[in-house]
């Protein structure tokens, strides 16, 4: 199977799970469910759930068993984007070419939709039990996701990111932010894929190392794209980093320096894949494609 076909297969499975596992109700508060679905329908690259499925298969597991884990990671990611766009955070009106959730549904309802997605992620994880994932792995997955999404992971990184606005940050300070804000949830995605496959500790450690390097490359590439890009290209307002006087790898290292650093992290991610005995061709191509993307 070609890389493109494999990615599409993972993507279709992940998308189906994301919507199949959403809460369904005809009560008055179903309006919040609509807001949850609206933000999920914006799509995006779905890199995190794809990574969950790919690592499950790489470790000898059945990707079907990892679908609840993949959906849970995407719920967390989408909740974070809803909250990021709020006026009290990044104050963005567009998300992936559409009105942000708070523009479409109002600030309070967007906040609740994000809260609901965060909470529902842990209900989704439990749906792996009927698929045959052992209870101890489900518990480990819930712990890993909560740890990497919370104040010791993504939330902590978001706080540091807000604190860094209108400050001149060094590269090491940017790295501290992004290891939490960006890398932590990618690490959770890869780790959960391994757990669904009941992988060994060495494989889990290698997946986490891979995810850290990939996350750094991903964030640096984002910073590069934000500077010269257009709203039409990225589907969201651009240039906000400069407007907020926010330090980025682009502003700190320059274009060439940022490109070199992203390439270094990409190579580090590829080296982590060498520790796996299975076929890493798909993940290798995915890793390189993220470095060379234009959106």
Q: What is the pLDDT of residues 150-176, one digit of tens each?
A: 999 999 999 999 988 878 889 999 999
Over the stretch 238-279, which tens digit does the pLDDT of each residue have?
Answer: 555 555 567 899 989 999 999 999 999 999 999 999 999 999
Give the pairing of strands 98-99 and 94-95.
antiparallel
Q: Which domains does the chain have, with CATH numbers?
A: 3-200 (1.10.600.10)
Mean pLDDT of the chain: 92
For residue 188, pLDDT over 70 is answered with yes
For residue 243, the model assigns a pLDDT of: 53
pLDDT value, residue 97: 84
Note every long-range contact of 220-225, with CB atoms under 8 Å and residues 24 or more positions apart, other chains counting: 220/249, 220/258, 220/261, 220/262, 220/265, 221/262, 221/290, 221/291, 221/293, 223/248, 223/249, 223/250, 223/258, 224/249, 224/250, 224/255, 224/258, 224/259, 224/262, 225/293, 225/294, 225/295
Supply the pTM of this predicted model.
0.93
Q: pLDDT tens-digit profile of 64-85? A: 999 999 999 999 999 999 999 9
């Amino acid at each position: 199977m070609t890389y493109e076909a494999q990615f599409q297969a993972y993507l279709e499975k992940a998308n189906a799970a994301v919507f199949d596992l959403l809460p369904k109700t005809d009560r008055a508060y179903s309006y919040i469910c609509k807001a949850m679905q609206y933000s999920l329908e914006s799509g995006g690259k779905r890199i995190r759930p794809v990574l969950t499925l790919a690592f499950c298969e790489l470790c000898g597991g059945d990707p079907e068993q990892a679908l609840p884990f993949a959906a849970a990671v995407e719920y967390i990611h989408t909740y974070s984007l809803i909250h990021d766009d709020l006026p009290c955070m990044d104050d963005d009106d567009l998300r992936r070419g559409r009105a942000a959730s708070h523009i479409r549904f109002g600030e309070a309802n967007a906040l609740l939709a994000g809260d609901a997605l965060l909470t529902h992620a842990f209900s989704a994880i439990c749906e792996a039990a009927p698929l045959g994932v052992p209870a101890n792995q489900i518990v480990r997955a819930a712990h890993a996701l909560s740890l990497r999404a919370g104040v010791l992971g993504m939330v902590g990184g978001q706080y540091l990111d807000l604190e860094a606005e209108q400050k001149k940050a060094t590269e090491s300070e940017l790295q501290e932010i992004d290891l939490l804000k960006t890398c932590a949830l990618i690490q959770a995605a890869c780790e959960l894929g391994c757990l669904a496959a009941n992988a060994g500790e060495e494989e889990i450690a290698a997946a986490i190392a891979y995810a850290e390097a990939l996350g750094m490359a991903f964030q640096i590439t984002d910073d590069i794209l934000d500077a010269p890009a257009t709203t039409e290209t990225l589907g969201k307002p651009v240039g906000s980093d400069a407007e907020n006087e926010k330090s980025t790898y682009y502003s700190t290292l320059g274009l060439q320096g940022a490109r070199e650093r992203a390439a270094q992290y990409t190579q580090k991610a590829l080296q982590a894949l060498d520790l796996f005995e299975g076929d890493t061709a798909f993940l290798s191509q995915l890793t390189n494609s993220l470095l060379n993307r234009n959106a």
